[in-house]
Amino acid sequence: MSVRVRRAGSRVLVMRLVDWEAEESAAFEPVLDALDMLTPYVEVLEPGVVAVPLRRGAGDEAAFCETLIDTVSGLVDQDCLTGVADGLFAAVLAAREGRIVPAGRDAAFLARRDIRDLQATGLVDAETCETLRHLGIDTLGAFRDLPGQAVAERFGANARRAQLLAAGQLARPLVPRPAAPELTVTDTPETPYATVEQAVFAARPLAERLLSVLDGRNLACTRVTITARTGSGMERRRTWQLDPAIGAAELARRVRWQLEGWLSGSAASETVDETAHAVTVLELAPGGLIGLVAAGRGLWGDKGAQDVKAEAALRHAQSRFGPDAVQIAAATDGRDLPERFGSAAWEVEHAPPPPSGPWPGTLPDPLPSLIGTDEQVAVLDAAGTPVQALARGDLSAAPALVALGGKRIPVVAWAGPWPVSERWWSPAARRYARLQVELADGRAALLVCEGGQWKAVGWYD
């Protein structure tokens, strides 16, 4: 007999400091220390705002919120508001009003919210919200009810993700999971970092290493856990939520915020041995991994001003000519040139699957830089007689001229032919031969003879 075990889901509590205006993020560290007394896991969304997981059914949520508010107020003299919901997005909005959204009611709670609250997702800007309002979309519920494909075509993949959040979906749990060891980056200095400046100076190249590791796997992270160990053996760890399109400078700034709180507190202690509080290990571990496309990293990596303009132009083209107007090419499985490349509508369709392995008889690299022209040509010998590709894999004569566009261009060098027989068992069977030629005008072409007719299927740089 098998027994299915159903694990209790978790809810999300978001705490927001009411009057948080501190310029130095180190001032936020005492608040986090106070929260550590109540819960084993705190995720920092930004200075002044944190999220805490709550196990569904574990106790009175309202009572826990009151305890948290009293603890923060009593220990650090800060007033705060709390919000509880099933998902992080709903909890962030609920914390603005000090509300507890009943379990299973995120979608109903979000539906009544003003369209400007989409900006809290970090995926939609104010201009997009105003555009939606001009279109008559005033609430998150109205935005949620729009066709998903239409949202992706008009506003892009980020707006589509925001639409799912507005529908109460994509609600990731706040559950700490250890990062894969190969994705974690660590700095172990020969001389421990005794000051914030020293540690932050090392944090920038460490952040660049982390992003480089993730980029190498086409990944981005939505949170990072910063761990620091000191000479006395003390370990401090804190998790921050990130924009998945974050750069190294912004990630290093998170490290600075955290180290300022830790090291300034250590410096204030009465311990004479300064090396006991120096940082001996600094570690960054990514979490909440997603693909670069889902992260909104743009067509060419990190978004810059030019990238944003280019994407806006592409979306404008899609809005005028349809979702298929902008195609992204990718290498895929296949033997012949048309099969070696696939395409998909940008931000609407999934990219073609990558090559899965070697294909016998495939055209070797380097491939032609220009394909799809398929100009009809004639290959001639020195006497001007047409050259044919024979069934046994030879040519009827050595190529000397290529007739193209009304001109006869001398052949400087040639290689081949390479006969190809495809799918002999099916109605789609093909037999053709490839030939590479270098012409006297400096061009190089890939020619194909099929059914006795030559054509140029590709041109090399």
* pLDDT above 60: residue 294: no
What confidence score (pLDDT) does residue 178 get?
54
* pLDDT above 50: residue 316: yes
Which residues, including other chains, have CB under 8 Å from residue 361's CB and lie 6 or more apart? 335, 420
What confidence score (pLDDT) does residue 2 get?
32
Residue 344 or 88, more confident: 88
Write the burial class of residue 441 (CB in 10 Å: 0-12 exposed, 13-18 middle, 19+ buried). exposed
- Calculate the average pLDDT of the chain: 78
The tens digit of pLDDT for each residue in 197-206 reads: 777 778 888 8
pTM for this predicted structure: 0.49
Residue 425 or 122, more confident: 425
What confidence score (pLDDT) does residue 195 get?
78
* pLDDT above 70: residue 268: no
Least confident stretch, 83-87, 129-133, 162-166, 356-360: 356-360
In angstroms, rounded to a whole number, what is the distance separating the alpha carbons of residues 90 and 93?
A: 5
Residue 5 or 424, more confident: 424
| Top mean-pLDDT range of 184-188, 300-304, 368-372 | 184-188
What confidence score (pLDDT) does residue 127 get?
87
What confidence score (pLDDT) does residue 109 get?
92
For 127-188, give the DSSP string. HHHHHHHHTT--BHHHHHTS-HHHHHHHH-HHHHHHHHHHTT---------PPPGGG-EEE-
- Rounded to an integer, the average pLDDT of 198-227 is 82
Question: Six-digit token pair at 157?
Answer: 């993949």
CB–CB of 290/170 below 8 Å? no
What confidence score (pLDDT) does residue 100 get?
92
3-state secondary structure 89-127: HHHHHHHCCCCECCCCCHHHHHHCCEHHHHHHHCCCCHH
What confidence score (pLDDT) does residue 299 get?
39
How sure is the predictor about 82, in pLDDT bands with cuts at 50, 70 and 90? very high
* pLDDT above 50: residue 37: yes
- Rounded to an integer, the average pLDDT of 252-264 is 75
Residue 3 or 408, more confident: 408
What confidence score (pLDDT) does residue 390 get?
84
What confidence score (pLDDT) does residue 323 get?
66
SS3 call for 269: coil
How sure is the predictor about 406, in pLDDT bands with cuts at 50, 70 and 90? confident
CB–CB of 284/210 below 8 Å? yes
Neighbours of 438 (CB within 10 A): 16
Chain centroid offset of residue 307 CA: 15
In angstroms, rounded to a whole number, what is the distance separating the alpha carbons of residues 335 and 361?
A: 7
What confidence score (pLDDT) does residue 7 get?
38
Residue 105 or 158, more confident: 105
- Rounded to an integer, the average pLDDT of 260-279 is 61
The tens digit of pLDDT for each residue in 94-136 reads: 999 899 999 888 889 999 999 999 888 877 888 888 888 888 9
In angstroms, rounded to a whole number, what is the distance separating the alpha carbons of residues 342 and 458?
A: 16
* pLDDT above 80: residue 438: yes
How sure is the predictor about 364, in pLDDT bands with cuts at 50, 70 and 90? confident
Least confident stretch, 7-11, 55-59, 235-239: 7-11
What confidence score (pLDDT) does residue 171 get?
56
What confidence score (pLDDT) does residue 115 get?
92
What confidence score (pLDDT) does residue 307 get?
59
* pLDDT above 50: residue 6: no
How sure is the predictor about 428, in pLDDT bands with cuts at 50, 70 and 90? confident
